[in-house]
Structure 1
Amino acid sequence: MTPEQLSQAVLDTVHAAVADGALTLTAVPEAVTVERPKNRDHGDYATNVALQLTKAAGMPPRALAELLAERLRRVDGIAGVDIAGPGFLNLRLAAGAAGELARTIVEQGAAYGRSQTFTGQNVNLEFVSANPTGPLHLGHTRWAAVGDALGRLLEAAGADVTREFYINDAGNQMNNFGMSLALRANGQEVPEGQGLYEGAYVKDLAQAILAEHPVLTSLPEEAQVEAFRTAGYKMQLRLQQESLEKFRTRFDVWFSEKTLHESGAVEGVADRLAEQGHVFEQDGAVWLRTTDFGDDKDRVIVRSNGERTYFSADCAYYLDKRDRGFSPCIYMLGADHHGYVGRLKALAACSGDDPEKDIEVLIGQFVKIVKDGQEVKLSKRAGNIVTLDDVIDLIGVDAARYALARSSVDNELILDVNLLTTNAPENPVWYVQYAHARTCAIRRNAGDLGFDKGPAEDFDPKLLVHLREEELLAALADFPRIVAQAAGLREVHKVAHYLEDLAKKYHGWQSEKKDCRILPIGDEKPTELNRARLWLLEATQIVLRNGLDLLGVSAPERM
């Protein structure tokens, strides 16, 4: 019996009590929570449903708990119900009810852990977003791993997700980029302190452009800059896309900031926002009164000289997302964008939206990478930054994605190259992947011995009664809840922590060679217990694989 099935059994019991008049409720809750108690002596699961309904039912919680307990004891799969404290219900499953989960997981396969928790949500998930003027750096790499994993989690929890990369291709930085490329193409150095791009990658990019378009250096200076700007933009964006593809990070939409200006969306921001009454003029400029909604200061939309501010493009972009029907719009920004939280929330409110529902802003803290105890700060090609490609070369895609996803984005993170490239239990990604590979090895060995788990109708879940098996089944049962919770809280690290705990329980189960042996020894014939344990083994393999896939990490069959 899965937690979802048990929760439904409790809910059905409440409905039945209302239907036969034993319980009076004007409304029955849509869901009932069942959780694992900290002390397993208190049962397999616990629910506070009696405390939840006591006021609506007009009954003391203890009396309501007694009424529900009597009925729950008659439910198939529930062996016992005890009442604790003011009215908590502690539930014990019947022998085999827990083991039945192994069959459920194997039958559901890749679908196990998925739910409809956020069905109906049309989420716009914006992450990584960068200028197309250079390689993606270590900060972008964190969001590439976390953002992609969050998208996978939200989809697993039933949401429709559009992953979006905002291309910052408007503004003076693009002109500076074109100038930098033109200088390098003509064999000149890029002067320092003028906002130009100095990394060695600029020279490489300029040479690559010249190889495709050798006539560019013969153009007049202004035309050269424009030509290199256009060609460099396309080539650098393609390189960013290739790096992200290598990192298994995909986007559904590559949204160009420039199109907001070309379409008139930026120019029309003031008129659209004025409809809500928060636009005003002062000192010849047009402002948005974001302080009405908690921002630290009001924001200029149009300067006194008629120039549109960068914030006006932010406004146009948010309004465009809402016009496309997205809610919530999730922004994943770097640590240096902390000030954007208040202004973007206020922008949503100024446009007539609910800032607690329609927009979310997540801030990721800084990442450092160390090797041999020393911080790695420089890239061979990019100058003073570590790039996404550097991270892939130093650590590998699996280790980097896992390590970046397993830490809360609220915390600064240090990636230790030596640790993350070590094949040892201290390396968390190796530890989890090894658990999966180990399940595959045992299944291969079983095949070599000429037996498998057998048909579903012959599986006997009542045989899985060892304490280690109960612990493993309990962990497997928790996976759907973890997925939905991680998606709802936007905390992908919860999945990584869960996988490490599951791997620990699996390794612990297999450490019991005498009592929990899966494979027969010598001339022994496979027993029904051997086969039952193969069902549990395969269920564990599936959950490990499903969890790793949510993080964009491979599940190797051999290590």
Structure 2
Amino acid sequence: MINPMNKAIDQIHMVLVEAAGRCVAENLLPAVPIPAFSVEIPADRNHGDFASNIAMISAKSFHMAPRKIAELLVSKIDLSGTCLSDVQTAGPGFINFFLSQSWYTDVLKAIAEEKEDYGSSDMGKGKKVMVEFVSANPTGPMHMGNARGGALGDCLAAVLEKAGYDVTREFYINDAGNQIEKFAKSLEARYLQLYKGEDAVEFPEDGYHGDDIKERAKEFAAINGDKYVEAPSEERKKALVDYSLEKNIQKLHDDLLKYRIEYDVWFRESTLHNDGEVAETIEILKKNGYTYEKDGALWYTATKFGGEKDEVLVRANGIPTYFAADIAYHRNKFEKRGFDKVINVWGADHHGHVARLKGAMDAIGLDGSKLDIVLMQLVRLTRDGEVVRMSKRTGKAISLDDLLDEVPVDAARFFFNLREANSHLEFDLGLAVEQSSQNPVYYVQYAHARICSIIKNLKAEGIEPREVTDEELNLLTSPEEHELIRHLGALPQEIEAAAKEYDPARITRYVMELATLFHKFYNSKRVKGEDEHLMQARLNLCICVRDVIRNVLSMLKITAPETM
């Protein structure tokens, strides 16, 4: 797996340490350890492709001015055998490095060699990671938060896979507890109202008032008629839930599949209760001395592990709380299934739950630091500058299903990954369907289609892409070509950074910048009509850009059209 940027950075570290060693050997610098120093990409590339702060960071250790240290080191640097062409001192003591033409040539060769694997990394070393995301309540349709969480979670999982982790995508089905009891009472009321009238049957004040509940009750009645009208309430509610819950879960599955999300595991909360894992987990907390009884309920001493207040584990009526089940669920992830890292994508309104759940992992003898939570801010839908809250089709709050009726899946997945999870997102419904360079997904797809068109038109004239030599690739020396190739070379590093930061939006921004740099190159340089060697080199560059755009869009599960 080739990482051109890391290769250059490693070589810079090496030549700097070797230069320091030569300076020490010649008594130009004292024989003391060099503090950890950085090699970074400067904002202004006129100052070099990379810059190191080694001289500034070593000034205290060497008892010498940074500029003097920099000059000594540069005088002893040997760049032979590296991908670097020049090194200079700058400012108060920065050391700037410039890439050689061979580095640019090697980037294009790496892309041609690795093809769809280009950008991959072994950073993750095959560690088992679970990404749990969406996990929408199965009592109703998915909303905009679920739509954003779906795109973020799925693309984060893809980035982690590309970075060398063994990733499992999981959906947690909340099919137990209070919300299912509320679901049951709501269905029961709507079912009985069909036969007795709305005035005769009171609807529960805290019930689910959506039309989807009415629809499920009607469907159930169409199959069963009035069979359950006189049945005992518990029997009636069980029959209604058994029918409706499976229908709702299937709807979640179908909507997410339409959104190009496929889960490895659909995990039911009810299994934790049925298999005794909730009871087991509560016993562990008792044994560890982190519970007490008060007002007939069993409490967990959450404040000992960073929680704001102690939490009820088992209510006075003997029923475990949702939090107790959540602790058991995460124990199942770590202890029973052996995940090295667990990542949950949650709405920002769950921020108060983060510390107490991580603390609970510590309380049951697991490592809470292995649980990471990505908190996601709200989405605001707009059209023509106006906030949109209602679906044209249903007149209700816009669901994921409604959104995908209005905008292409490509646009939805791309737009939801335009910004970091912790940023508020404005989703412009009009822009998402616009076929112009203002629409970011269209802009990127157009760059891919444009390259496909270039290749097709040249083939029509009898010009076929062929293997090119290093000498031919070395002809790509213009600033536009270097800028474009340098960006291609950054993909593996961007994927690693996105995986480390849990920020798949980095990859969306990367491919937008790649499209911009390609259009800039194409508008300033001719592919056809130049010297045959230069034409083939530029054609090779176009193919590399096409393949990298396709790699990134494929990772994000967005199509890469050949014509537009």
Fold shared by both chains (TM-score > 0.5)? yes
| Equivalent residue in structure 2 for 1:440, among 443, 452, 456 | 452
The match for 1:518 is 527
Q: Secondary structure at the match of 1:158?
A: coil
Identity rate of aligned residues, in percent? 36
Counterparts of residues 8-87 of structure 1 (less than 5 Å): 8-13=10-15, 34-48=39-53, 63=69, 66-67=72-73, 70-85=76-91, 87=93
- Rounded to whole Å, the distance in 2 between the matches of 1:156 and 1:25 is 40
- Rounded to whole Å, the distance in 1 between the matches of 2:75 and 2:130 is 44
Deviation of 1:362 after TM superposition, in Å, equals 1.9
Alignment of 1:394 onto 2:396: no
Q: Compare 463-472 and 447-456 and name the one that shifted more.
A: 447-456
Q: Is the 8 A contact 1:335 1:365 kept in 2?
A: yes
The match for 1:350 is 363
Change (3 A) 1:116 1:458: closer
| Equivalent residue in structure 1 for 2:307, among 270, 276, 295 | 295
Change (3 A) 1:27 1:214: farther
Q: Is the 8 A contact 2:189 2:202 kept in 1?
A: no
Alignment of 1:220 onto 2:231: yes
Residue type at the aligned position of 1:39: D
Change (3 A) 1:97 1:331: closer
Counterparts of residues 263-342 of structure 1 (less than 5 Å): 263-323=275-335, 324-342=337-355
Q: Is the 8 A contact 2:13 2:39 kept in 1?
A: no
The match for 1:385 is 397
Q: Is the 8 A contact 2:34 2:58 kept in 1?
A: no
Q: Secondary structure at the match of 2:51?
A: strand
Residue type at the aligned position of 2:463: F
The match for 1:543 is 548
Alignment of 1:154 onto 2:154: no
Deviation of 1:33 after TM superposition, in Å, equals 5.7
The match for 2:4 is 2
Change (3 A) 1:246 1:216: farther
Q: Compare 438-447 and 76-85 and name the one that shifted more.
A: 76-85
Q: Deviations over 1:11-51 (max 9, x none)?
A: 4546767999959788998xx86432222222222234566
Alignment of 1:364 onto 2:376: yes
The match for 2:134 is 128
The match for 1:202 is 213
Q: Deviations over 1:533-556 (max 9, x none)?
A: 011111111221222223222211
Alignment of 1:247 onto 2:259: yes
Q: Is the 8 A contact 1:366 1:412 kept in 2?
A: yes
Q: Is the 8 A contact 1:369 1:417 kept in 2?
A: yes
Deviation of 1:83 after TM superposition, in Å, equals 2.6
- Rounded to whole Å, the distance in 2 between the matches of 1:471 and 1:19 is 34
| Equivalent residue in structure 2 for 1:92, among 72, 94, 98 | 98
Q: Is the 8 A contact 2:292 2:298 kept in 1?
A: yes
- Rounded to whole Å, the distance in 2 between the matches of 1:377 and 1:72 is 63
Change (3 A) 1:210 1:193: closer
Q: Compare 39-48 and 59-68 and name the one that shifted more.
A: 59-68
| Equivalent residue in structure 2 for 1:499, among 508, 511, 526 | 511
Residue type at the aligned position of 1:113: G
Counterparts of residues 431-510 of structure 1 (less than 5 Å): 431-457=443-469, 460-510=472-522
Change (3 A) 1:438 1:160: same
- Rounded to whole Å, the distance in 1 between the matches of 2:560 and 2:62 is 49
5+ residue gaps in structure 2?
none
The match for 1:529 is 534
Residue type at the aligned position of 2:212: Y
Change (3 A) 1:42 1:74: same
Q: Is the 8 A contact 1:127 1:333 kept in 2?
A: yes
- Rounded to whole Å, the distance in 2 between the matches of 1:321 and 1:381 is 40
- Rounded to whole Å, the distance in 2 between the matches of 1:381 and 1:233 is 24
Deviation of 1:420 after TM superposition, in Å, equals 1.0
The match for 2:268 is 256
RMSD over aligned CA atoms reads: 3.1
- Rounded to whole Å, the distance in 2 between the matches of 1:58 and 1:114 is 43
Q: Is the 8 A contact 2:186 2:213 kept in 1?
A: yes
User: Size of the alignment, in residue pairs?
Assistant: 549
| Equivalent residue in structure 1 for 2:171, among 136, 156, 165 | 165
Residue type at the aligned position of 2:373: V
Deviation of 1:220 after TM superposition, in Å, equals 2.1
Q: Compare 156-165 and 208-217 and name the one that shifted more.
A: 208-217
Residue type at the aligned position of 1:557: E
Change (3 A) 1:196 1:538: same
Q: Secondary structure at the match of 1:90?
A: strand
Q: Secondary structure at the match of 1:338?
A: helix
Q: Secondary structure at the match of 2:104?
A: coil
Residue type at the aligned position of 2:361: A
| Equivalent residue in structure 1 for 2:426, among 410, 414, 432 | 414
Q: Deviations over 1:191-250 (max 9, x none)?
A: 555333332233433444556666865772533321121121111101100100110112
Residue type at the aligned position of 1:334: G
The match for 1:109 is 115
Q: Is the 8 A contact 2:132 2:170 kept in 1?
A: yes
Q: Secondary structure at the match of 2:278?
A: coil
Q: Is the 8 A contact 2:136 2:142 kept in 1?
A: yes
Q: Secondary structure at the match of 1:331?
A: strand
The match for 1:428 is 440
Deviation of 1:410 after TM superposition, in Å, equals 1.6
Q: Is the 8 A contact 1:54 1:64 kept in 2?
A: no
Q: Is the 8 A contact 1:96 1:463 kept in 2?
A: no
- Rounded to whole Å, the distance in 1 between the matches of 2:183 and 2:431 is 38
Residue type at the aligned position of 1:519: K
Residue type at the aligned position of 1:330: I
Alignment of 1:236 onto 2:241: no
Q: Is the 8 A contact 2:19 2:76 kept in 1?
A: no
Deviation of 1:405 after TM superposition, in Å, equals 0.8
